[in-house]
Each structure stands twice: as structure tokens, then as C-alpha cells.
Chain A
């Protein structure tokens, strides 16, 4: 079964920024790093549910806008000494088209 959903183009997401995709499983934040790498995480900070998509993106991390936890975009894990994990989703980029897979 093809579970990949096309959500838009790379250009739709600002560099060092994110856009939100609304799904039946909740909001997914799709990030685009300075390097143009793309990542997808549940748009809920493991601390108190802050909207990660609104955070400052740096390298492959995002700083949550509510209390500044740093979350790894690669793993969804909070950077020590904070502890917690935001759910990660599969995301891929082909010919400038961004697709996510939220069923896995």
C-alpha cells in the first residue's frame, strides 16, 4: 500500500522553518533545515505540548517556543539534560516534492 502523502513542495516550507500538516493523528510539523534536509515530527513538544513548528530551527534542531527545550529533528529526542521525545514521522523529498508517511 502506498502510504506516502504529498504535502507540497520544498519551496512551500521556509528554510530554517516549518509548516504544519493537519492529519487525523494530530498536527505534524514538517521542518526544513538550513541544509534543505526535511524532517517531520508531531507538532507537540514532549515537555508541555508546545507547537514545535513555531520554534527557531538551527542546524538539525528546533527550540520549542514555550520553554526553549531543544529537540533533535533527526530523532525527536530532547537534548540533555531535558528528557522526552516527540514522535517522528517518515518524510522524503523527491524532485522538490515533499511527502510524509504517517501510517507507519
Chain B
């Protein structure tokens, strides 16, 4: 028989937990949900647009009654639970009905804090929490004129703007001197106040409410200083209080909320709590992003998987009152130790402040232009060193030149038809529609539904911004420390750490040691695991073919028509008539449809059939040609220019340097592809400054450049250092590649890796520390001894050819009707 799970509270956190649970263990529980509100679960965050008339209640429903029915969930709407009987293990509702539970989830959210002043219970006084409150406000807007909102925080301001739109005269009463003082510094708070004033909201700052007056209904409000204003509607938005009375009465330990541990369990192990009613490590939360994180972990434990841990959240705020852009995150006031970078343009209504400590972002406040909020927040959560672009920080990510192709238009101003994801042809309108109609909150969800940013990822930042502009601060930015994939709770870094410290040498062993919860992984984790294993234990780990993407398994690039391309290595871009002849012969013999010069200074035989590959490779091998790894997360090309052998400006022999580098490094597997170039002088004809490792010859020796990238986000290299001899170039190259191999996350190219760890860190590891450089180089050389086998030659043997051929051919089979 199934176990019984009862959920109290049909709100955002409770239902998210149920959804997550259904994904993990759809059959485990018989689920019963009690909700005090009379309808299905809706998106509370979007109550403001309903108030202002921009959305209908129907638009914000998340789960309809049919959804509950489909998943076999018994839903009691309009049914408030009055008692938890822990002895009999049942809950009792107001109507006297009861339900037994094996596990209980409390997700009762919070209640608006109603100031206990005289008159607080008069009709016309409401909080701003649920659809019933909105109905009261809308009714007042139809019949009355004066509204007062108590509280100048996020909720109060949203209510005020909504009521102004509905035609009321609105005053906001606020105790502090500036608005949203817990999210904004005073400069931004003042700008916000001016903006809202220009839209017709009046403010009474520093005013303390003494009493609400009226007979049948509220009519006015009196302040301590004797001031008095009329009010036919009073919205109390002076804070929220976690709703834990029920739990407390049942004897469950509560402080400011229901106290839970890292698995969201209360002091009664059968009872869990999530959402605003829960208190975790002394902290309660009032934004959905952390609550959704809690939901995920809680579901994991309800499903008895037992590996998720909730460790608290860092949150950011984005005000979503239409047209006002405000963002804040972290410690935006700063202390004596910290520095502040401020940009202010009152004319344009823009204010930006970033608080730094030791070149790391501690917090940020943005007003007027919040486009870079997600970026700062990410840098802050990653603890990234910003010294390299500190002077550009306030101009934003676009200014760094990594915003992708084309101009960087503010998302709010983007037309719905504008293409956001070039790979999958997804427009802004598609994304907005998917978010609204499916109730999406996270980047991953948007990816799954629209495919936007699911391919090259170049538009990730833009998608996040669109998400944030639609749903507000609850958009959860992609977190680098998030699980590697849905099969595990461990991050990339944690997985690799475990592989090293626990000496894990196979995928199966790793999955077992780290308690993977899928039988044999997925296409995301298996290639990553395979890379971490072979790069950590080159002599021991066995390269798992079945965990390689087709290109790396077959050592050729698959094309849309299922043919393949063959790109032989052309060392340093230099070839010979004999090699060219062999390539030409192969092209003719196998009737290759296209022979193309690649952007990487080599020749591509395009359109080869799978069965032809081994014999074509054998022919090329015979002429001394080997695989160019044009398909691999591996060393690709080393481009060169002519250099001092012939060129009138050349200062060093760039061609020989390129050949030496390629002979030294070919065959190595890297987290992502790795490209090099060598130019013979600073004219830089080999474009070395957009390569992962670029070498530019100068009179006195060689300049070494790192972290460049062509492709989706162009990034110019940083100068690592200058060296004198060719041997040093090789040593630094090996050390740099090894540092990257050991530390970057799978599928992270050198450019984003370098931005994450900082150039200073790389210099410290391999320029300043000569012993460490030598050790890194040595480890690279050791792994090369195993890696430098031509994969083509290995697959031209009789035994291995069969894998390129069909298993059987038969002429049986009904020809399908045309």
C-alpha cells in the first residue's frame, strides 16, 4: 500500500515540492492537499498585474483542478486545517473532516502583519497577500476614492502603483526616510520615490500610524504627530509574519518560523516544512527562489533519495512594478573595509553602485538600468575576481565585448519578434509566452520548453534577463555550483574532487561512490565523468567509448545528412605536395562531395559515409597523415603565419614554433576544445590573440597570451608573460594546458574559465611559482605519453572495422506507403 502524504497549504512552495516529488517518485505516495483558499494553486507574485489590470486571475493559475486529478491528488480547497494530531498522525480541518498521514508537509506561508492599532479590524482594511485581498481592493477602487498604503516596501509600492492605475488617490505611509530601505540605499530609494511621485503616488515619510478611524468602514487615518488623512481603503503592507500557529499548537519547535534542518525536516521527523513558514539556520525567506530550492531538497527526501541538502540561499531583489527598474543584491551598503564604485546620471534616471571587497563583489544596487543585475549577481555568487575589468564594471557586461554578436539592446525594449537564440530560432515573444503560459521560473525550465540557450549557451544572459523581466526576482540565475546534471546533487567541482581524493577510476565506480540516482547516467554527466576520469588518472582510467559523443567516438564530425567529415592534421599549417596528393587521391577514390579549406588552416573532406571511414583513414595513414581531432574536446589546430624564415617583418620562426607546439600537445583531451596560434611579429597574421594559447614573437623572444576565443563570444587574450626561449614557450604551454585540464569544468573554454578564476590566479600558479609550473608541465608530459596515439590508426584494424558497418543487411521489410 502507498504511504500517505498530507500537504497543508496549496501555495507556491508546497505545490512546487509536490511537483518535484512527482518527478522523482510519482508512485510513492497517496497525496492529499489542503488549501485555505478556494481555488487551485496560483502564482502569487503576479497578483500585482492582476491588481493593476495587466493580467486576469486565469492567467496566473499554476495548477488547475484537472492537474490534481491527473496525478491522483486529493485536493480540499477552501478547507483550513485547524489541528495537527501527532499522536494519531492525522490532520483535522475546520469542517471536522480528517486525513491520516505517514508524512506531513507544512507549507502555510505567511500572513501580512496587521498593525495592532485601534480600528485595524474595520472593513476596508486589508493586507496584500492573496486573491481575496485583491478583490477587496478592486471593489474599493470601484466605489471609493482615497487609498492609503502602510509600508513603502516592495509589496506596498506594488499595491500603490496598482491602485493608482485603478484610478484611486493613493498615499504611501512609510516609517523610514527612504523607500525599500532594506533593499535599496538612500540614493536609489530617493530616485524611486521621485519616479513614483511623477506617476501620482503621494508619500508621507517618517509617519507613524496611531489609529484608524471610521464607523461602518474605515474613513481616515491619524498619525502620532497629529496629522490626519482620509482613507476609504487601507492596505497594510508593513511586513509579513511566517504562519506557524498550527505547528506551534502541535508542539513542533518554532522560533520565528517552523525550525527545520538542512533536509527541511522539523523536530518531528515525520513532518517537513517549506516556504515562508519555515526557519532554516536562523533565516526565513520571503522570495520564491530560495523557497523553490527548499522544495527541491524536500522532495528529494520525501522520495527517500536522501542526498539533497539545503544550505541557505543568497537572494537578489528586482522590483517589477511596470516601468521601474530596480535591482539589489548582497551587502549593498558596504562597511569600512569595502569600496564602492558609483555611477550616477540623474538626467537619464540611472544610478549604479557596486560594493567591492578585495576585488570581489559584495553587493550591488541598480536603478534605472538593471540589465547587468544578473551578471553582477552571478559574479557575486561565484566570488569572481573582477580586478581585470574593474574599471569597466559599471559599464556592464556588454561593454566587455562578451555580449555576443550584434548590439546589446535592453531586453525590455526588445521587440517580441527579435531573435534571442540564434541556434534554435527562438524569439523574445516565444520565451515570454512560454514563461507566462507554463508558469516557468528557472533558466532550465525555459530551456526545456523553448530550447532557448540550450545549444551554444551564448544567449544565456539574455534569456535570464528576459526571465527576470517577466517574473521578477524569483528568476533563479544559473548557478555554477549547481548539480552537474539531474542524476546527481554534486557539482562539477565536487565530482572531480571526489575522483581525485577517493581515487575513482571508472564511471561506474564514481556513480556508486557519489550515489548517482540514475542507473547509468545521462548524456550530460557521462561525457563529463569520462573526461574527469581520463584527465585525473590517465594511466588507469579506461576511456569509455559509450560515454563519448558520436564525433569523439567515431573520430569524425557528423553532418546533418549523417555523413562525416575527415580532417587530417596539418602540422602548424604546413603541408607537402606528397600529403596534398594523398589527400587528393583519397578524395577521388571515395568520391568525396566537397573538399574544403577550413578556418583552421587545414583541409576538410566533407560528406564521407561511415562505412568508408576506416579504409580512407588507412590510406591517409599510409601517407603519414593522422587525425586532426577536428571533432574533439581536444587540441585542435595550431595556426601559424610565415614568420622569419621568409617574411620581411618576421622576428622569430613562427612556423617551426607552431609545428613544435602541435607535435608536443596533439592528442590531449581538454575540458573543451583548445586552439593555438603563433605569429611571427606583432602584426599578428595568425590571429594569436583570439586563441586559447596564443604566441606572438617579438625581437627579444615570445609573448604568451591566454584565454582568447573566437566563436560566439569573442574575447581577446590576456598577456600572461614574456619568455626568451622556444623551450620556455613549450614549458609554459604544457603548464597552461595542464592547469586548464585540471581545473576548468567540462565544456568550459579557457575564456570563461579565466574570467572565473582571474588572470592573477593563473599567473600565480604558473608564472610566479616556477616549481609549480614545472610540476604542471611534467604532469602534462606524462599524460601525453598515453594520449599520443593516432585514433584513426587504432580503428583501421580488421577487428575494429566492424563497428563502422551494419550488423546485417536484409531485403525483408514492407515498403511503407508513399
Contacts and interface: CB of A to CB of B under 8 A. Distances in A.
A50 interface: yes
A14 B549 CA distance: 15
Given A19-B806, A54-B550, A34 B519 contact: yes
B815 A16 contact: no
Nearest to B527: A56
A63 B547 CA distance: 11
A68 B523 contact: yes
A15 B522 CA distance: 15
Interface in B772-812: 803, 806-812
Nearest to A30: B807
B818 interface: no
B816 interface: yes
Nearest to A58: B522
Given A23-B810, A48-B560, A50-B562, A17 B549 contact: no
B521 interface: yes
B443 to A, nearest CB: 15
Contacts of A96: none
Contacts of B519: 34-35, 59
B814 A103 contact: yes
A55 interface: yes
A94 to B, nearest CB: 17
Contacts, number: 103
Nearest to A20: B806
Contacts of A8: 807-808
Contacts of B526: 56, 58
A27 B805 CA distance: 12
Contact of B549 (A34, A50, A56): A56
B815 A24 contact: yes
Given A17-B546, A56-B546, A63-B523, A5 B812 contact: yes
Q: Which of A3, A56, A70 has the most CB of B within 10 A?
A: A56
A65 interface: yes
Interface string B502-537: 000000000000000011111100110000000000
Nearest to B518: A59
Contacts of B554: 54
Interface string B530-570: 00000000000000011101100110001010100000000
A23 B813 CA distance: 6
Nearest to A26: B813
A25 B522 contact: no
A65 B806 contact: no
B449 interface: yes
Q: Would you call the interface of chain B mostly helix, strand, loop, or mixed?
A: loop
Nearest to B544: A16
A23 B812 contact: yes
A27 B810 CA distance: 10
B448 interface: yes
A65 B546 contact: no
A81 B449 contact: yes
Contacts of B553: 54
Given A25-B815, A58-B518, A20 B558 contact: no
Nearest to A57: B546
Q: Which bucket holds chain A's interface residue count? A: 35 or more
A21 B816 contact: no
B267 to A, nearest CB: 38
Given A56-B526, A58-B518, A59-B518, A24 B811 contact: yes
B813 A24 contact: yes
A91 interface: no
Nearest to B553: A54
B8 to A, nearest CB: 30
A81 B553 CA distance: 28
A66 interface: yes
A60 B610 CA distance: 25
A70 B521 CA distance: 13
Given A34-B520, A59-B519, A65 B558 contact: yes
Contacts of A67: 455
Contacts of A24: 810-815
B803 to A, nearest CB: 8
Contacts of A97: none
B523 A58 contact: yes
A79 B301 CA distance: 25
A55 B550 contact: yes
A5 B197 CA distance: 80
A74 interface: no
A93 interface: no
Contact of B810 (A5, A30, A49, A50): A5
Contacts of A5: 808, 810, 812
Given A25-B815, A58-B521, A16 B808 contact: no
B448 A22 contact: no
Nearest to B803: A14
Contacts of A90: none
Contact of B808 (A21, A59, A63): A21
B811 A23 contact: yes
Contacts of A34: 519-520
Contacts of B523: 55-56, 58, 63, 68, 70
Contacts of B806: 19-22, 27
A22 B518 contact: no
A57 B518 CA distance: 13
Nearest to A12: B807
Interface in B621-641: none
B814 A16 contact: no
Q: Which of B449, B455, B550, B811 has the most CB of A within 10 A?
A: B550
Contacts of A85: none
Contacts of B560: 48, 66
Q: Which of B807, B810, B815 has the most CB of A within 10 A?
A: B807
Contacts of A54: 550, 553-554, 558, 562
A94 B116 CA distance: 78
B449 A21 contact: no
A19 B288 CA distance: 47
Contacts of A102: 812-814
8 contacts: A21-B810, A23-B811, A54-B554, A54-B562, A56-B527, A58-B526, A59-B520, A66-B558
